[in-house]
Structure 1
Amino acid sequence: MSTNGSSLACEGMYSKLMDDEDEYDNLNRRPDVRLSAHPVSPVMVIPKPSGPGPYRLVAFCLAALCAVLLISIIAVTAHYKNKTQSDVEGKSEMQQQDVNTSALTASISKLQQEKAQLQREKDELLAKLATKMTTKAPSVIKPVTKAPIVCPMDWHLFSNSCYFISRTTRDWPESQSYCQSKGAHLAIIHTAEEQTFLWNLLPRGHWNAFWFGITDEHTEDHFWEVGEPNNHIDEDCGYIVKTEVLERVPIRSWYDAPCSMYWRFICEKEMGAGASTATPH
């Protein structure tokens, strides 16, 4: 039932009721209508409406109006209550967002401060490093380079020594003196490679002999020929022999002989440290 329909219905019934009462009053007030104990003529008397019917309808309409008003009030109240609750929740949410925004702003500010502090520390470290590099020049390790060994003319290089093969003959002491005059000494042979190198420099002949700097008193092995040194007739000085016999080998070419014999000789000039000489006894 709508509010407008109920109101119109009740107003219509109320108006009808009021019209009935007015009509009844008008009939009672007419002068030509009298009530007598003895009826003179037949007169129609309109009875006053009796019974609770119209009043109940009015009461029902009033109750309906009250119910409608109550429902409307409840609806309006609920609407405003929901709206108020929504406003409160929205306000609370906005406040929470404000709190979150404030916390985020504080975090950003703290991070910016930490970044600035780190940047200052970085700048300080770079400044210290630059100062240290300026005040203390880094030590430069220069590679040690050795100058190439250059032997004098007619001298032959092997390892760190230069060797000279003479064309004239001298005895062992004179050969040693000549080598010393050139800043050298009679060759002292230590390895098979050195022995082979020098033997290849010697010319072949019937009996080409060359003094070198080892005596049989100091060296009794190495590259002696079989049966040598035999120290026959004070043969204290050593020499190298190279003949035309191709079967001879460098490592079996040493002999001993008296130091007074005249042979060609081999000088050795050591171009590095550790130079040594040998003298016959």
Structure 2
Amino acid sequence: MPSIGSPAGSEGMFSKLIDEEALDRSPDVHLNAHPVRLLMTGGPGKYRLATICLATLCGVLLISIIAVSAHYKNTAAGGAAVQDVDALSATISKLQQEKAELQSKLATETAAAGRGRHTGSPGLNVEVKDCVSQSTVPARMRATLAPIVCPMEWLLFNGSCYFISRLSRDWPESQSYCESKGAHLAIIQTAEEQTFLWDQLPRGHWNAYWFGITDGHTEDKWTWVDGTPLVGGFWEEGEPNNHINEDCGYMVKTQVLERVAIRSWYDAPCDMYRPFICEMEMGGARSTALPH
């Protein structure tokens, strides 16, 4: 029989105490049930090692949780930052596009003033003015677009100044006079422009005014003084007819009320003396061509 002090004896006594305490605390254990024996296979060192391992595992898990949380926060913050950068980039791109469109319109208007604004688009000046009036245009840019001021006795219409003479000259001399003022005989492309000029003329028995059209270079091929061909026109019925070598154009306003602005052009010999209409583009002079 093992002694009390021996390891085997200690193990037996310890197991017996555990069996008895377990039976006392377990009301579900019947008296006739076989006793449950709990065998301990190790000493107190095993518990300390398990505790250390569990603590280490908890620490690793805690560190992992903290690292994942930090990574999530950084990722969320980074995503928000990326969204902010994308929104800012989109705004900058939109502003740059608006700036480019405005510059293109202003360049088109300036070029039209230099080579002739008569392109069949009477709304171009209005469109540019509308753009300039918007608050998105920088103040320094708006300041450079000064209002058009015509010389004395010149009339403003759609970006050009017009002079209606009271003296008479032949067609080439009329063109030379206009050029001496930095202008040219009027080039008329729209019904609005034609009506505006015709309304300024006084009525009379046969009030006729030279303007800037001729077929002096090639018969029946009417061109403007800047060399561009005529498209359409506002001829009276039966005109032009080249009745007596009539190579220059003029408009007529008579006392007959039935005569209207959009049917008032006639052709006539270029050496006839008539008053005339000059036009000055407020952005540059045209190149002109006199008839032979």
Residue type of the alignment partner of 1:175: S
User: Does 2:45 align with 1:102?
Assistant: no
Distance in 2 separating the partners of 1:113 and 1:199: 81
Which amino acid is 2:189 matched to? H
Query: Considering only CA atoms, is the larger Rg found in Structure 1 or Structure 2?
Result: 1
- Give the structure 2 partner of residue 27 of structure 1: none
* 1:104 CA drift (Å): 2.6
Verify: 1:243 aligned to 2:200, yes or no: no
Deviation (angstroms), 1:81:
5.4
Cα RMSD between the aligned structures?
A: 4.2
Q: 1:98 to 1:149 in 2, by over 3 A?
A: same
Q: What pairs up with 1:1-281 in 2 under 5 angstroms?
A: 78-80=19-21, 98=55, 101-108=58-65, 110-111=67-68, 144=103, 145=141, 146-216=145-215, 217=219, 218-219=221-222, 222-272=233-283, 275-281=286-292
Q: TM-score, normalised by structure 1?
A: 0.54
Aligned residues: 190
| Aligned counterparts of 1:168 and 1:189: Cα–Cα separation in 2 | 21
Amino acid at match of 1:246: L
Question: What is the alpha-carbon distance in structure 2 between the residues aligned to residue 77 and residue 186 of structure 1?
Answer: 126
Secondary structure at the counterpart of residue 232 of structure 1? coil
Note the C-alpha offset of 1:245: 1.5
Q: 1:267 to 1:113 in 2, by over 3 A?
A: closer
Amino acid at match of 2:63: A
- Stretches of structure 1 that go unaligned for 5 or more consecutive residues are 1-73, 130-138
Shift of 1:115: 8.0
Paired letter, 1:187: A
Q: Within 1, Cα distance between the matches of 2:20 and 2:269?
A: 143
Output the TM-score relative to the length of structure 2. Answer: 0.52
Secondary structure (helix, strand or coil) at the match of 2:276 reads strand
Per-residue deviation at 1:147?
3.8
Q: How far, CA to CA, are the matches of 1:76 and 1:150 in structure 2?
A: 119
Flag structure 2 segments of 5+ consecutive residues without an equivalent.
Answer: 1-14, 26-36, 86-94, 104-140, 223-229
Cα 1:253/1:109, change in 2 over 3 Å: closer
Instruction: Provide the C-alpha distance between the structure 1 equivalents of 2:61 and 2:146, rounded to a whole number of angstroms.
Output: 73
Structure 2 CA distance for aligned equivalents of residues 163 and 105 of structure 1: 88
Sort the Cα spacing of 1:114 and 1:231 in 2 relative to 1 into closer, same or farther, 3 A.
closer
